[in-house]
Amino acid sequence: MNVLAIGCHPDDLEIACGGTLRKYAERGADVYEAHVANGNLGHVVIMPDELRAIRTKEAEEAGKVLGAKQVFNIDVGDLCVDSHNQEVIDAVADVVRFVRPDVIITHNPDDYMQDHTETSRIATNGSFCSGLNHRPRQYEAFSSFIPVYFMDTLAGVDFQPSIYVDITNQIEKKMEALNCHESQLKWMYEHDGIDFADMVKTCSKYRGYQCGVPFAEGFKPYNVYPRYSTKCLLPLD
């Protein structure tokens, strides 16, 4: 099974679906991560070019912890993610063609900031374009209708999961991967007074309460024609 998770910033996948990605990898799936934005504005002291390099390395290290085979960086600057940018859509389409996923996980189309919501649209539009031949492409065309699951919003605000994945056995690896993003955890604690690692673990525990396990992550399917599947695509059992 091939799994492609498309997030916005380099830590978003660890936050919202890191346990699920690790669980996929433990069960033998080939897991791939892609980040649309490079995270270059996620600090008020470290300058963008330096931070971009730091966060790229952090994302690669986090991907290794989760068992990802490869971490792609589409390399769009923060606050510049635009779902109408055809070059970015084509770049994501080529990632889809390369990975040839059975399932895609990405942001909920309603989240707390524009970069996240635009990434959701880029993921769904890019996967659709992966099956078209009218654009320049590096890899052979692939199915346009890959099932997509939306992952939780930050802090679970205004998101009601319809599917839960038990990540009790993966919670420590999820947190280890999140802790790879040291530049962000340190900055948010010093700048905003937020213990972000504690917040993420608490949210996983909250989702666990909802479904009767110690820790969980929540998802919703992208319910449009013809993105459905008769297969169980999330690692539920």
Taking only the tens place, the pLDDT of each residue in 44-87 is 899 999 999 999 999 999 999 999 999 999 999 999 999 999 99
Number of domains in the chain: 1
Return the pLDDT at 134: 66
Helical (H) or strand (E) element with 74: strand 70-76
The reply to whether the predicted model has a pTM over 0.75 is yes
Does residue 230 sit within a domain?
Answer: no
Residue 70: beta bridge partners? 32
pLDDT > 90: percent of the chain: 92
Residue 105: beta bridge partners? 5, 149
Taking only the tens place, the pLDDT of each residue in 140-194 is 999 879 999 999 999 999 999 999 999 999 999 999 999 999 999 999 999 889 9
Q: How far is it, in rounded angstroms, from Cα 83 to Cα 137? A: 18
Q: Tell me the average pLDDT of the chain.
A: 96
- The counts of H helices and E strands in the chain are 7, 7
- Rounded average pLDDT over 14-32: 98
Does residue 237 sit within a domain?
Answer: no
Give the model's confidence band at 138: pLDDT under 50 very low, under 70 low, under 90 confident, else very high.
confident
Return the pLDDT at 30: 98
| Residues whose CB falls within 8 Å of the CB of residue 80, separated by 6 or more in sequence, listed in order | 37
Give the model's confidence band at 7: pLDDT under 50 very low, under 70 low, under 90 confident, else very high.
very high
Answer for the pair 108, 153: CB distance below 8 angstroms, yes or no.
yes
Does residue 155 sit within a domain?
Answer: yes
Return the pLDDT at 205: 98
Whether residue 104 is predicted with pLDDT greater than 80 in this model: the reply is yes
Return the pLDDT at 237: 83
Helical (H) or strand (E) element with 217: strand 216-221
CATH of residue 172's domain is: 3.40.50.10320
Does residue 236 sit within a domain?
Answer: no
Domain limits for position 79: 2-221
Does residue 214 sit within a domain?
Answer: yes
Return the pLDDT at 142: 92
Give the model's confidence band at 235: pLDDT under 50 very low, under 70 low, under 90 confident, else very high.
very high
Does residue 234 sit within a domain?
Answer: no
Return the pLDDT at 108: 98
Does residue 205 sit within a domain?
Answer: yes
How many Cβ atoms from other residues are within 10 Å of residue 57's Cβ?
13
Return the pLDDT at 133: 78
Does residue 231 sit within a domain?
Answer: no
Q: What is the DSSP secondary-structure string of 108-162?
A: -SS-SSHHHHHHHHHHHHHHHHTT-SSS--SS----S---EEEEPPGGGTT---S
Return the pLDDT at 213: 98
